[in-house]
Structure 1
Amino acid sequence: MFDKSFESLRLNLLELLKSKHEWLLSGKEYADLPESIRGAIEEQQNSSERFISWIQIAILVVFSVLYTMAPKTSPIGAEFEPVPIFLGTYFVFACLRLYLSYTSRLAHWILFLSILVDMGLLLGLIWSFHLQYMQPPSFYLKSPTLLYIFIFIALRALRFEPGYVLLSGIVGAAGWLLLMVLAILDESGRSVITNDYVIYLTSNSVLIGGELDKMISILVVTFILTLAISRARRLMVRSIVDGRTAESLSLFIPEGVASQIEKSDGPLINAQTETREASILFVDLTSFTSLAESLPPENLIAVLNEYFLLISGPIERNHGVINQFQGDAILASFNLPTEDPDHASSAISAALEIQRVLHEYQFEGGITLSTRTGINTGTVVGGFIGTPVRLSYTVYGDSVNIASRLQVLSKQYNTANLVSFRTMQLCDHERFAFKKKGSEILRGRTHPIVFYEASAK
């Protein structure tokens, strides 16, 4: 019974330590990130460590210059000057850490050791002042160099790991406590403790309350920075995840729609739709059935992906937006959701460029492909459709249906493209020529549609 209770206590303690370790160093959210993102964060952390090292080296240089310029009160000809020794030692250590940060990722134990050495050398430097200036130990407690402890703690906040900030603050406060104890235990036998604030400020006496105030200030600043870094790290991780999600989302929806999603406050299904005149381009692969019969499924998918990559270029270069991949067909819109005042000309230019690119290109195995396109211009609605838990963005309206029907009719009229009268009317006639191919009453309509074949001049 006792053994079970002890084992349960041990496991609970280990779990507590593990959770605190995760919070102090990285955070649980960090462990759930993909390896590629963790690698990017670690590289950023390493960059921060290099920045910290450079700042510390700069501080050392400034401190050395100030020390060199300051008048010396040590006896003339004194051989032992501890301040330059501490400054030189710390400079060597800072350069070594800087070198390691450039050549490899710094392990946690190196960073912990670095913090101990940072604070140890700084506190050792402060302690050495009474030797340098031939004063009793309590002399160093008045040193304004104490402020560098706060600087060293703040530098640790450049990494998004609260544990290093916390360790710096605890070591700094503990070090100052040790310095106070050493000053009180002065072997001269004199009582250095005082309760008089004026005497404390004007002599080498020690006011314990005053020194405790310094330690409390160090700890309070440390805990505030620790909490701030912890919250900032959670926000950083969430921002990275959101950014990665947005990147992935951009593969499925147009960039303009992604911008709408970022600005949307409520459910996307309730997001406002856009209605405007736009040009719709339908692109369909000819002889797809025979291609599917002649190729193994994995080869067919590879050819289709290569084909889609090839023809998406002309659409995007002409300011079009691919809304849907429908089997071997593509539905693209011009002027919705991305504005394009010359959308009719852009749609025709994209269709003709697709024909030209495919005519000059051979797929693996010597396969050549061709397309037929239908283009129509009219009022179109763009928005999200589906359910609150599964949505897709599309453009819809009668004008979209007409573009689809024109693409189907292009085979009957033995042409690579058909464009509607409205598209022909709006486009730049200095760039394109049109040949009337006919007119038909399309299925579901009562009035005939006049259509043309477009070509470049």
Structure 2
Amino acid sequence: MERGRYGRNASGGGLMTALGSSLFTHLGLRPSEMRRLPPRIAKLMEQEEERSERAISWVQLTLTVTFAALYSLAPRPVDASMISEPVPWALGIYFIFTLLRLALSYRGWLPGWFLMLSMLADVILLYSLLWAFHTSYGQPPSFSLRVPTFTHIFIFIAVRALRFDPRFVLTQGLLAFFGWVALVVLAIDEMGPTSITRSFVAYMSGNGILIGAEADKLISIIAVTAILGATLYRARLTLLTAVREGVASRDMRRYFGAGVADAITARRTAAMAGEAEARDAAILMLDLRGFTPFASLRGTAKTVEVLTRYHSLVIPIIEEHGGVIDKFLGDGAMATFGAVSPSPTAAADALAALCAVMEVGPAWCRSLEDEDCPVLPIHGAVVAGPVVAATVGTERRLEFTVIGSAVNLAAKLEKHNKVAGTQALTTADTYALACKQGFHAREGIPLAPTEVAGVAEPLHLVRLG
């Protein structure tokens, strides 16, 4: 038996056991496509259906109040004195039932048998009121078959469309269909076979029962039910696709970062390997100094736990300053500013992010000391310059990355921190550009022309305090 949204026990207790695989049961089970979904996507669908059931309850409550208001305000027919007033009682009982349904929908407890009971209540309420008309007005049973209020059954069928599950519309339509068949049979039984007429004039002007007219009503019920059911079937497939894509989009943001994911989903055409675009961007490289020996001495669990905490510390800072994580390099991280989408303040934002990371560095080291762990200082470097934002890979596996001398130099400067005994470095050109763009978070300290491994010419570097 399945548990969860479709009942604490999908069988619905003793009543469900007795009924076996009846209509009561089929509404308590997940649709076949739901059972094939991954559990987390199925959970999202269940949450949507719970919201749908609450919406249905509110609509039913609104309809009940509306009908009650119209009944109390509408002028009475001249022969209203003949009516025995069943309407207030029926509406009152249905109002209480609808309140109960609304309360249970917010508790998430609406098993199949209760949903069936709710649909039965809709049909019984309306058809009972219709049947009461002929006794209230002192007319033969055929009188009840002509009451215009019959059209309200289409409202009850349409309400079920608020839930993206055609089974509920089909079930409500079948109940309406067989309920009307029962009323016609009951009317013929009470009036006798002679009540059946083939004359439309006699039907319209007398008390005869025209089978063709009742068949038209039944055909209308089936047609509306079938059309709504087919529409909902297509809508449900669309909803399932939307839920899957929504989950995939959220996952993509977690793997690639919001900036890259947004750029991918906003494209007019599918991404292709080899696509490239030049950008003026800034590259930020971060690294935990001493992490490799730390990982060799600590267990896997502790190593991953420290690394996760480190990423949880620096990633929000980078994103707050407009950066996009391009990739994780073990204990290092590469972030881009202005590469995914152009930015007039890329250099300033990157340096501001680096300074913000440096400000939390001491607290990070103290937290490791408190755990008797080796101190792992955070080192970083920023370089701004022209880069190429490219989509690389194959048709089956793509990756967005940034290529250019600024990327290579940022990686070299980050490593140069160890040689220079610094924690945060940038080039003089990057620092000057950032200042023009509004950077003023921390004053830079110029260094003498410095040779950096892998760079042919000495560089003018700036140490960030």
TM-score range, shorter-chain basis?
A: 0.7 to 0.9
**Where do 1:22-37 residues align within 5 Å?**
26-37=30-41
Indicate if the aligned counterparts of 1:281 and 1:403 stay in contact, CA closer than 8 A.
yes
Task: Say what the alpha-carbon RMSD is for the aligned residues.
Answer: 2.7
- Residue of structure 2 in register with 1:250 after alignment: 253
Work out which of the residue numbers 384, 389, 397 in structure 2 matches 1:390: 397
State the 1:151 CA deviation. 0.2
- Residue of structure 2 in register with 1:193 after alignment: 196
- Residue of structure 2 in register with 1:11 after alignment: none
CA distance, structure 1, for counterparts of residue 134 and residue 56 of structure 2: 29
- Residue of structure 1 in register with 2:185 after alignment: 181
Tell me, yes or no, if structure 1 residue 67 matches structure 2 residue 91.
Answer: no
CA distance, structure 1, for counterparts of residue 382 and residue 87 of structure 2: 81
State the 1:237 CA deviation. 1.5
Residue 251 of structure 1 aligns to a residue whose secondary structure is: helix
Work out which of the residue numbers 428, 436, 452 in structure 1 matches 2:446: 436
Structure 1 runs of 4+ aligned residues shifted over 6 Å read 21-25
State the 1:65 CA deviation. 3.5
State the 1:242 CA deviation. 1.2
State the 1:374 CA deviation. 2.0
State the 1:305 CA deviation. 1.1
The C-alpha deviation readout for 1:290-324, integer Å capped at 9, x for no partner, is 32243222211111111121122321221111111
Tell me, yes or no, if structure 1 residue 96 matches structure 2 residue 100.
Answer: yes
- Residue of structure 2 in register with 1:268 after alignment: 271
Q: Tell me which moved more, 251-260 or 214-223.
A: 251-260
Work out which of the residue numbers 388, 398, 403 in structure 1 matches 2:410: 403
Work out which of the residue numbers 337, 340, 353 in structure 1 matches 2:340: 337
The one-letter amino acid paired with 1:449 is L
- Residue of structure 2 in register with 1:12 after alignment: none
CA distance, structure 2, for counterparts of residue 85 and residue 311 of structure 1: 66
Work out which of the residue numbers 452, 456, 459 in structure 2 matches 1:449: 459
CA distance, structure 1, for counterparts of residue 440 and residue 188 of structure 2: 95
- Residue of structure 1 in register with 2:377 after alignment: 370
State the identity %. 35
Change (3 A) 1:81 1:377: closer
CA distance, structure 1, for counterparts of residue 184 and residue 386 of structure 2: 81
State the 1:430 CA deviation. 4.7
**Where do 1:351-362 residues align within 5 Å?**
351-361=354-364, 362=367
The one-letter amino acid paired with 2:167 is G
State the 1:179 CA deviation. 1.9
Indicate if the aligned counterparts of 1:321 and 1:338 stay in contact, CA closer than 8 A.
no
CA distance, structure 2, for counterparts of residue 317 and residue 125 of structure 1: 63
Change (3 A) 1:347 1:24: same
Q: Tell me which moved more, 68-77 or 384-393.
A: 68-77
Indicate if the aligned counterparts of 2:285 and 2:410 stay in contact, CA closer than 8 A.
yes
Indicate if the aligned counterparts of 2:452 and 2:459 stay in contact, CA closer than 8 A.
yes
Tell me, yes or no, if structure 1 residue 119 matches structure 2 residue 123.
Answer: yes
Indicate if the aligned counterparts of 1:276 and 1:381 stay in contact, CA closer than 8 A.
yes
CA distance, structure 2, for counterparts of residue 107 and residue 46 of structure 1: 11
Indicate if the aligned counterparts of 1:280 and 1:377 stay in contact, CA closer than 8 A.
yes
Return the TM-score normalized by structure 1.
0.86
The one-letter amino acid paired with 1:400 is V
Change (3 A) 1:392 1:270: closer
The C-alpha deviation readout for 1:180-223, integer Å capped at 9, x for no partner, is 22333343x68433334344333333222122111111101101
- Residue of structure 2 in register with 1:322 after alignment: 325
**Where do 1:162-241 residues align within 5 Å?**
162-187=166-191, 191-241=194-244
State the 1:104 CA deviation. 4.0
CA distance, structure 2, for counterparts of residue 413 and residue 95 of structure 1: 73
Return the TM-score normalized by structure 2.
0.85
Give unmatched runs, 5+ long, in structure 1: 1-16
State the 1:416 CA deviation. 1.3
